[in-house]
Structure 1
Amino acid sequence: MRPAIEFTSVPTWALARTRPDADLSGRYWTVIAFGGGDPHADDAAEIAAGWIAQIDAVHPGAAPRVHRVSDDVAARDALTADLATALVGWRLMIAGPADACLRLRARAVRHHVGDDEITVASTDVVDRDVHCAHCRAVTRAVVEIEGVVACVGCGRSLVVHAHVSRRIGAHLGVMT
């Protein structure tokens, strides 16, 4: 029986495309929009532009740092660079495919960024990263929660559980 999603660790934005407003409670912002080969790259750029407009309307001259990135490496580099100079009141806003956003959020959490300092807009929720509880490999696949995927590491058939690791940024997969 599938648990009510609000009682799981799966963020709602990892299940359905979302477009939240900018977090205007901060004083400094980093906006990271995933682009590159993603078919929803324009969506991420549009969301980021909307966030910038919202911030500018409430905090004129705030000058949020905006990074349009093509992959996880560029996103991690942008996050790491901005965290090095972050001040009290800093906020992180991420727009892009849910799997990429989960991975970047995990990186931010490992650097002690609080969930209340992160805003995520998901442009695509089709692909999932599934962390194998048996061999620790991560399989990327188009699979629903409670669906089954073959692990790329050990070959076991894994059931995708309604659990996301905040530290790893992937769904939990356990042998069927």
Structure 2
Amino acid sequence: MPHSSPPNRPEPGAHALVLVFGSKGKASAWTRDDGEVLQFGAEFSDATAELVKSHLSSTFVGLRLVLVGSEATVYAVRAVAISCGLIPEEISTAVLDLERSSEESETVWADPNTERRVFCGHCHVTMTAKANVGDAIRCIGCNLNLVVRYHFSRRYAAYLGSLIRL
């Protein structure tokens, strides 16, 4: 599950590539002095995916990738990185749109109106919706009513939407 504290820093001597999506100022705790930092816009797009693929194609074994940004963007880029051959142990994520409650162990959204990716378990369409876990949405693919579940797929970078049974 996403976390909002700085990820473990790669061991000394490892090449670190930090991809920041959105405000670099907000991401300063996750950047490194000895690594390469690339700044992107806050939104993930096909063009962003192609830029990331192009950059990762020229990397080498031992790269440590740090992704900083919103949950949807970080996990979409993580999926792209894995499709380029990186393994999960080489990737650290820093999700900036989550907050940890100091009194409880649960994660709360910093902005409940943030759009999240939802994967329909019925027709397998991935859509974007302003919804939190437990909210009901209508699938754009099969037009069924879905409830957004806690299950988050890092592969699809989306929460599972399952059929609401009345």
Check whether the contact 1:47–1:95 (CA below 8 A) recurs between aligned residues. no
CA contact (8 A) 1:94 1:121 kept: yes
- Deviation of 1:144 after TM superposition, in Å, equals 2.1
The 3-state SS of whatever aligns with 1:131 is: strand
- Structure 1 residue 75, shift from structure 2 partner: 3.4
Deviates more, 1:86-95 or 1:76-85: 76-85
- Is 2:19–2:66's contact at 8 Å kept on the other side of the alignment? yes
Alpha carbons of structure 1 residues 65 and 82: separation in structure 2 relative to 1, 3 Å: farther
Q: Distance in 1 between matches of 2:17 and 2:54?
A: 10
Native 8 Å contact 2:53 2:80 kept in 1 = no
**Under a length normalisation based on structure 1, what TM-score does the superposition of the two structures give?**
0.72
**For 1:175 and 1:108, how far apart are their aligned partners in 2?**
31
Write the distance in 1 (CA, Å) between the matches of 2:28 and 2:47: 19
The aligned residue for residue 173 of structure 1 is: 161
* Structure with greater proportional helix content: 1
In the TM superposition, what is the alpha-carbon distance from 1:111 to its structure 2 partner?
A: 2.4
Q: Partner letter of residue 95 of structure 2? A: S
1:11-48 per-residue CA deviation (whole Å, 9 max, x = no partner) reads: 133xxxx131452226112211112xxxxxx3xx1254
Compute the displacement of 1:110 (Å).
2.2
Percent identity, aligned pairs only?
29
Q: Which runs of 5+ in 2 are unaligned?
A: 99-113
Is 1:127 aligned to 2:115, yes or no? yes
Find 1:155's aligned residue among 143, 146, 154: 143
Q: Which amino acid aligns with 2:25?
A: E
The match for 1:69 among 33, 36, 40 is 40
Q: Give the conservation status (yes or no) of the 8 Å contact 1:132–1:151.
A: yes
1:108 partnered with 2:81? yes
Q: Contact between 1:130 and 1:173, CA under 8 Å: does it hold in 2?
A: yes
Structure 1 segments, 4+ long, off by >4 Å, are none
**Residue 99 in 1 paired to residue 72 in 2?**
yes
- Tell me how many residue pairs correspond in the alignment: 146
**Greater RCO (CA < 8 Å, at least 6 residues apart):** 1
* 1:24 correspondence with 2:10: yes
Matches within 5 A, 1:4-19: 11-13=1-3, 18-19=4-5
Q: Give yes or no for contact 2:74–2:93 (8 Å, CA) kept in 1.
A: yes
